[in-house]
Amino acid sequence: MTLITRLARPAILALPPSDIAGPPLPGTVRLDANENPYPALVATGGDLNRYPEPQPDVLRRRLADLYAVQPERLWVTRGSDDAIDLLIRTFCEAGKDSIGIVEPTFSAYAQFASVQGAGVIRARLDDQFAFNADKVIEAMTAQRPKLLFLCTPNNPTGTRVAPEDVRRIASALPDTIVVVDEAYIEFSDDPGLAAEASGNLVVLRTLSKAFGLAGARIGCAIGSPELIELLARVSPPYPLPGPSIAAALDALGPERMPLHRKRIGDLIAERERLAGLLDGVGEIRSIRSGGNFLFLDVVDPQGLARRLAAAGVRVRFRPNALPGGVRVSIGTAAENAALLAIFGMTNNTSNRRAELVRDTKETRIAVAIDLDRDEPRVIDTGVAFFDHMLDQVAAHAGFALTLTCRGDTDVDAHHTVEDVSIALGGAVRQALGDKRGIGRFGFALPMDEAAGQVLLDLSGRPFAKFEGQFETPAVGDLPTQMVPHVFRSLAESLGAAIHVEVSGDNDHHKVEAAFKAFGRALRQAVAKGSSAGLPSTKGVL
Ligand SMILES: *Cc1c(COP(=O)(O)O)cnc(C)c1O
């Protein structure tokens, strides 16, 4: 008998193995599932009238790739909450078996156990909320819970459980399945234990936190194929909504990864910045940070609750963890400013940022821009020379730019160059907000043997003029006829008058001069001056 068959509920072992059919071949006449043949009456209907795949193969493989495991070791679930529930229902006999938890921790473990009629064996973090593996082993050894849930970083305390502690616990408790909930692992320095999840070790991951998909409800359990096969038996027939599957695949497109990494980095930096600022506040006794949240111990939780309610700011009070325990998620710059204001701090960090996603049949584009920071610059459009030019624009304009595109470059560069220009202009415009305090105008004239001149007015009124000729059809993989087109697209999406003039002998230099000059002009136009007003006598821009 294997460990899994020894531990699983007999009723689950008695269920027939799930047989999951793959997606129907195109053209299949689908009269097998009592679906309604008519498309759903919503604009984004797709094939909503059809049941989704019970375990969507493409998403399963994408997640397996993301977590660097084989697909047969991973089971896609309706959020990782669902994975917790499936595990408990698979292994815990009501009235007989139990789970182990290390408190204070995520409340869903004990909740699902209670619903299943399973017991809960409780160990505790120490007074400083540090994790003590020996104490956990001691607390669990005699009682042999079927499942032991370890959360790292722990919600709500941020506590890290070291990988070597997990391994030691798993080997010290051979009759217990150790479930490591890594909901927030992307926000930590630990790579996670997915690669080691087999035998009595199971890892849970989710797209809800790091990948911004809480509303899609997609998570997974990673473990031995034998255990995964039992989870399949316990799963409802079609647990994952079709739009959620599609959204997850969209958001996890490989070309979107740079933006995910940037966001995660930003959230971590913001978490530490807030922790530093709140550190001096008298009514806060202590601050812990982990995941995408802070855990505060406040002197007067009731008083704080009143101030938060009055300001319309919601946080999570965690009195079971600590009488003054408050868990605060890291939000956008504006949301974090609202939080700081509760503690009497005004926040003067820049808010001139924008993110924009633009997907069409021809291109999939994601842009993040921060006008008041000059790093990072990560640009990948699939047109190498265009990447180089956009990098020049961002570098000379002095802003941070993460821009990725996957376009139909197998046809040619046209759609990619055009759509990226539209998206970039839109993102700059969005980041400028109400344009108060900006320079509005810019001009530049860098020289070589080639000269590029750009005059720019962020007037809100699109106009583009390009003067100059190219001798060659392309520089690198960028067709030269697209160069004037870029500035026209930018003028329209940015809402700007852009006059470009280039001259010289070498097309490469001329193109580069035009983009650099545009970057320089943009630098002056978006720069914040000493005046906070609108640079227009009309009062609108
Ligand atoms: C948020 C959270 C989850 C649930 O994630 P979903 O995938 O959205 O269900 C699981 N575990 C912990 C510790 C969490 O904080």
Query: What is 451-514 written as a DSSP string?
Result: EEEEEEE--SS-EEEEE---SSSEETTEETTHHHHHHHHHHHHHT-EEEEEEE-S-HHHHHHHH
Closest-lying ligand 1 atom to the alpha carbon of residue 105: 13
Model confidence pLDDT, tens digit, residues 13-51 = 999 888 777 788 888 888 778 788 888 888 876 789 999
Lowest mean pLDDT among 92-96, 485-489, 529-533: 529-533
Residue 533 has pLDDT above 80, yes or no: no
Q: What is the pTM of this model?
A: 0.90
Measured in Å, residue 431 CA sits from the centre of ligand 1 at 32
Residue 80 CA: which ligand 1 atom is closest?
7
Q: What's the whole-number mean pLDDT along residues 324-353?
A: 90
CA–chain centroid gap for 81, Å, is 18
Separation of 100 CA from ligand 1 center, angstroms?
17
Contact 83, 235 (CB under 8 A): no
Mean pLDDT of 499-513: 94
Report whether 185 contacts 154 (CB < 8 A): no
Nearest-angstrom CA–CA distance, 293 and 330:
5
Query: 155 in ligand 1 pocket by Cβ < 6 Å?
Result: yes
Residue 541 confidence (pLDDT) above 80: no
**Ligand 1 close to Cβ of residue 79 (< 6 A):** yes
pLDDT at residue 58, rounded to an integer: 96
56 against 349, higher pLDDT: 56
Question: What sign does the dihedral 137-139-141-143 (CA atoms) show?
Answer: negative
What separation in Å is there between the alpha carbon of 83 and the centre of ligand 1? 10
Cα 446 to chain centroid distance, Å, stands at 39
Of 198, 244, 191, 250, nearest in space to 219 by CA:
244
Which neighbouring-strand residues pair with 406?
A: 364
Q: Verify whether ligand 1 is closer than 6 Å to residue 81 (CB atom).
A: yes
* Model pLDDT, residue 351: 78
For residue 216, how far is its CA from the centre of ligand 1 (angstroms)? 13
Binding site membership of 158 for ligand 1 (Cβ less than 6 Å): no
CA of 312 to the centre of ligand 1 (A): 24
Q: Identify the pLDDT of residue 530.
A: 67
CA end-to-end distance (rounded Å), the chain: 74
Average pLDDT score over residue span 43-69: 92
CATH of 353-526, one of 3.90.226.10, 3.30.230.40, 3.40.190.10, 3.30.565.10: 3.30.230.40
Atom of ligand 1 nearest to the CA of 207: 7
pLDDT of residue 243 exceeding 80: yes
- For ligand 1, atom 5, the nearest C-alpha belongs to 80
- Calculate how far, in angstroms, residue 206's C-alpha sits from the geometric centre of ligand 1: 7
CA of 182 to the centre of ligand 1 (A): 9
Q: Which of 183, 336, 180 is nearest to 273 (CA)?
A: 336
CATH level 3 topology of 50-247: Aspartate Aminotransferase; domain 2 (3.40.640)
**Residue whose entry in the numeric block shows the structure tokens 């909740």:** 111
Q: How far apart are CA 221 and CA 177, in angstroms?
A: 13
Beta bridge partners of 447: 451
Q: 205 C-alpha to center of ligand 1: Å?
A: 8
Give me the mean pLDDT over the 352-358 stretch: 94
| For helices 57-66 and 242-251, angle between their N-to-C axes, nearest 10 degrees | 40
Please report the pLDDT score of residue 447 as a whole number: 64
Domain ranges in the chain?
50-247, 259-339, 353-526
pLDDT band at 141 (very low <50, low <70, confident <90, very high): very high
Q: Which atom of ligand 1 is nearest to the CA of 154?
A: 13
Q: Is 182 in the pocket of ligand 1 (CB under 6 A)?
A: no
Does the C-beta of 106 come closer than 6 Å to ligand 1? yes
If you take atom 12 of ligand 1, which residue's CA is the nearest one?
183
214 lines ligand 1 (CB under 6 A): yes
HSE-CB of 122 using CA atoms within 13 angstroms: 10
What's residue 446's pLDDT? Answer: 67
In angstroms, what CA-CA distances link 58 with 245, 246, 250, 471, 532? 9, 10, 12, 46, 51
Give nearest CA residue, ligand 1 atom 15. Answer: 155
Helices (H) and strands (E) in the chain, counts: 16, 21
Q: Is 154 in the pocket of ligand 1 (CB under 6 A)?
A: no
Q: Is 208 in the pocket of ligand 1 (CB under 6 A)?
A: yes
The amino acid that residue 8 corresponds to is A
Q: What is the pLDDT of residues 272-305, one digit of tens each?
A: 999 999 998 999 999 999 999 999 999 999 999 9
pLDDT 10s digits, 194-214:
999 999 999 999 999 999 999
Ligand 1 pocket test: pick from 112, 209, 244, 330 the residue with the most ligand atoms within 8 Å of its Cβ.
Answer: 209
> Are 371 and 528 contacting, i.e. CB atoms less than 8 angstroms apart?
no
- What are the C-alpha distances in Å from 222 to residues 79, 117, 187, 348, 377? 13, 25, 19, 43, 34
Which atom, in ligand 1's list, is nearest to the CA of 84? 10
490-517 average pLDDT score: 94
CA 281 to chain centre: 30
Atom of ligand 1 nearest to the CA of 214: 8
The pLDDT of residue 426 is above 80 = yes
CA 73 – ligand 1 centroid, Å: 20
Instruction: Tell how far CA 23 is from the center of its chain.
Output: 28
Percent of the chain with pLDDT over 90: 86
Check pLDDT > 80 for residue 536: no
- Count of residues in the chain: 541
- Of 180, 188, 208, the residue with max ligand 1 atoms within 8 A of its CB, to mutate for a pocket test, comes to 208
Architecture of the domain defined by 259-339: Alpha-Beta Complex (3.90)
